[in-house]
Structure 1
Amino acid sequence: MKNNALTTLLMASSILGTAGLAVAQDKTITIESWRNDDLAIWQEKLIPAFEAKNPGIKVVFAPSAPTEYNAALNAKLDAGSAGDLITCRPFDASLELYNKGHLANLADLPGMENFSDVAKSAWTTDDGSADFCVPMASVIHGFIYNADAFEQLGIAVPATEEEFFAALEKIKADGTFIPMAMGTKDLWEAATMGYQNIGPNYWKGEEGRLALIKGEQKLTDPQWVEPFAALAKWKDYLGDGFEAQSYPDSQNLFTLGRAAIYPAGSWEISVFNTQADFKMGAFPPPVKNAGDECYISDHNDIAIGLNPKSPNADAAKAFLSWVASPEFATIYANALPGFFSLSSTPVKMEDPLAQEFVSWRDKCKSTIRSTYQILSRGTPNLENETWVKSANVINGTETPEAAAKALQDGLDSWYKPAK
């Protein structure tokens, strides 16, 4: 009897020991994010694909509401209760987390070699010595158009600025459609879908943006004033009352078929696909003259980094290396058309409108919005001031030259380029 009891005890101990070993080998990693709208994509597509190849690692996607994310994340980080992986906003918000020791340096992570310097620029220290998040996606700017309207009016897709304004003039003369759907009430569209959309063709993308940061160019130089001059001409084509038109108003005007062209960010694609009942196309910002090199705003939007205090750092790094892989890029970019992989490996898009946007990378040079890196850390904030000035120029209440001078004066009041 004693022997039987001893045998049972030993067997139980052995089973428990084996179970304990299995538990020790299994790791669960948690992702903090503000993107609660793509929870299903993580749960149904991304996480199963990773776990299938990494059976010892479980992944939990635990988003917060977008407006609460920054505060909630900072509180968790300060308390030591944040998840293993941190979804990174672009530029200064994430740089601040890195400087506080809340994000690890991932410069040596396997897979980071898959991204260009421009792709990593939103999550790189000013001196370029550290990369603290793995780039996930960018958004691209251009123009979405009603292809049925273009066909009806016999309009070819414009490639140059002259052709662009000729198309707008033809649409206006016909009177069936508002030539272009954009308002200035909310300010930010005037800069984001206006100035930052067409501007890179004037200031030559990264060349001009980096020269501005170095103090080698000023916002009063011709290449920075000319986009404002082009925007001033938009006023005649935005329809009656555009000054009081909100962002949702503009979206509705286009998807209801009342406007022919929409100055866009690629994030509109999935929304427009569900709302518009006409065929859509897209074209990149027209160049000044035929044969000019073209540039697109291919703006870094989202990335993911490592909490240095993660108790599961090895498992988390395995996940981050997978995020840097072509497999992740293909799943993510096709699940969220309009949010494009930043990987150097091209991703074939299933959505034709998304594929049109991303194809511009093959013929144009990519840049990011000129105000986002370094130049909007002071007061007045260059990004927010560019919203106001872009709207003023379109409204006709301020000249391009005056707007540019005010922006440069504001920048000069606090920003001194590093020598």
Structure 2
Amino acid sequence: MPGVLMAALLLPASAGTLVIESWRVDDKALWENVLLPAFARHHPDVTVKFAPTAPTGYDAALDARLARGTAGDLIACRPFDLSLALYRGGHLDRLNGKPGLQNFDQSSLVAWQTDDGKDTFCMPVASVIHGFFYNKDIFRRHDLQPPRTVDDFFRVLDVLKKAGVTPLALGTAEQWESSQIVYTNIGPNFWRGEEGRKALIAGRAKLTDQPFVDALDFTARLGRYLPAGATKQTYAASQARFASGGAAIYPAGSWDIAHFSRTPGLALGVFPPPLPREGHACHISDHMDLGLGVNRNSRNKEDAYKFMAWVGSQEFADLYTNRLTGFFTLSHHLIAVRDPVAKQMAEWRKRCASTIRVNAQVLNRGQPSMEVELWAVTSQVLNGSLAPSDGAVRLQNRVEQGRPGQK
């Protein structure tokens, strides 16, 4: 026995278990059945547990665990200010120069950097892309093609409406869709993507300027093509209406590809946001959705950074992109996207300039946040209860209230 005890004492200490905090409860099977086994093939001595919290409770629960010192080793990072606050609060490690980070361009890091861009505190994982899904069978029956321009788009909607087909599977009961999958989906083509977004942050542009008002005008015009009872129609009801063939077009986030691909008999097509006119530069909302950081108080940093390096690898990028359809790697690895609709959306990156939701960086600061105001304004514009020009004034007033040094 003494010899056995001595031998045991000479063995290296157990690596312990890495715990991943996340709000993405829907991804649990992917992590447990695909991603973690793939990592284990490289590091069989490292045990990793994926421990998600429901999205609505994630931020508060994570804050409480961080305060108690009971949070996991790896932290799923929301984009911009929520994660920036965790870094400033001493909860996330500085990642500058860490293995894996070299596989991301500067533009992919901005959601998880300090305002001056000097420190990176989360590794980018994935983005979502916006556009419009359409029912190919309905389009064929009415001899329609996916529209390229705004004029084309409204001609298609008119044909559908006159034929007795509900043009849009879209409601405003939950409000967020009006902002995130309408206004900030179609808007970048009007305000020229990053050019307009950065001009707003710098104070060189205002939301009352014509390009931003034009995007609200587009939103208002869509109101003529909503289904009956749209003010009470939820996101789930919109999904169901489109999946059943009860509407021809669905303003979309790429995360819905997987949902609709499981719908028997649905011939799913997709087209990008329409251009203001033919020949206009193309811009898409390619919004940063998820990053991963290291808990500064993790007791297992060595293994945590092994895992982070793997998250930056081609293998991880391929698995995540192709096994979680509609979420696209932010790395510059070349990935062959297998799902045909996801592949089409990913290819927009080659001919369109990518941007993010116009309010996501800096402009959301202050209470109520610009995000909350956008939900309210865009849903009212879409419902026809608020004029686009008045909505623009409200949004610009919110920008001014949130600027540093202003009350």
Q: TM-score range by the shorter chain?
A: over 0.9
CA distance in 2, matches of 1:99, 1:369: 23
1:247 matched to which residue of 2? 235
CA distance in 2, matches of 1:86, 1:29: 11
AA partner of residue 219 (structure 1): L
In the TM superposition, what is the alpha-carbon distance from 1:416 to its structure 2 partner? 4.1
1:90 matched to which residue of 2? 79
In the TM superposition, what is the alpha-carbon distance from 1:75 to its structure 2 partner? 1.7
1:12 matched to which residue of 2? 4
AA partner of residue 215 (structure 1): G
CA distance in 1, matches of 2:329, 2:359: 22
In the TM superposition, what is the alpha-carbon distance from 1:241 to its structure 2 partner? 2.4
Q: Does 1:291 align with 2:291?
A: no
Native 8 Å contact 1:137 1:303 kept in 2: yes
Structure 2: give runs of 5+ residues left out of the alignment.
Answer: none
Q: Does 1:382 align with 2:337?
A: no
**Normalised by the size of structure 1, how large is the TM-score?**
0.93
Native 8 Å contact 1:215 1:417 kept in 2: no
CA distance in 1, matches of 2:183, 2:56: 26
Two-structure CA RMSD over aligned residues (Å): 1.6
Native 8 Å contact 2:260 2:266 kept in 1: no
AA partner of residue 264 (structure 1): A
More displaced, 273-282 or 332-341?
273-282
CA distance in 1, matches of 2:302, 2:337: 32
CA distance in 2, matches of 1:52, 1:380: 47
CA distance in 2, matches of 1:77, 1:374: 24
CA distance in 2, matches of 1:17, 1:243: 68
Native 8 Å contact 1:257 1:276 kept in 2: no
CA distance in 2, matches of 1:17, 1:174: 79
1:55 matched to which residue of 2? 44
Task: Give the alignment of 1:256-295 within 5 angstroms.
Answer: 256-295=244-283
Number of aligned residue pairs: 406
Q: Deviations over 1:122-169 (max 9, x none)?
A: 211111111111111111110000011111111111111111111111
SS in 1 for 2:269: strand
CA distance in 1, matches of 2:96, 2:188: 28
2:214 to 212, 221, 226: 226
1:3 matched to which residue of 2? none
AA partner of residue 169 (structure 2): A
1:144 to 126, 133, 142: 133
In the TM superposition, what is the alpha-carbon distance from 1:54 to its structure 2 partner? 1.7
More displaced, 236-245 or 189-198?
236-245
Native 8 Å contact 2:170 2:235 kept in 1: yes
In the TM superposition, what is the alpha-carbon distance from 1:276 to its structure 2 partner? 5.0
SS in 2 for 1:149: helix
Larger Rg: 1
2:399 matched to which residue of 1? 411
Structure 1: give runs of 5+ residues left out of the alignment.
Answer: 1-7
CA distance in 2, matches of 1:67, 1:231: 28
AA partner of residue 89 (structure 1): R
Q: Deviations over 1:88-147 (max 9, x none)?
A: 112111111000000011121122122223322221111111111111111111000001
Q: Does 1:45 align with 2:26?
A: no
- CA pair 133-265 structure 1, distance change in 2 beyond 3 A: same
CA distance in 2, matches of 1:193, 1:276: 24
CA distance in 2, matches of 1:307, 1:30: 10
2:21 to 17, 32, 39: 32
Q: Does 1:397 align with 2:389?
A: no
**Normalised by the size of structure 2, how large is the TM-score?**
0.96
SS in 2 for 1:322: helix
AA partner of residue 138 (structure 2): A
Task: Give the alignment of 1:174-189 within 5 angstroms.
Answer: 174-175=163-164, 177-189=165-177
Q: Does 1:208 align with 2:210?
A: no
1:73 matched to which residue of 2? 62
AA partner of residue 154 (structure 2): F
SS in 1 for 2:251: strand
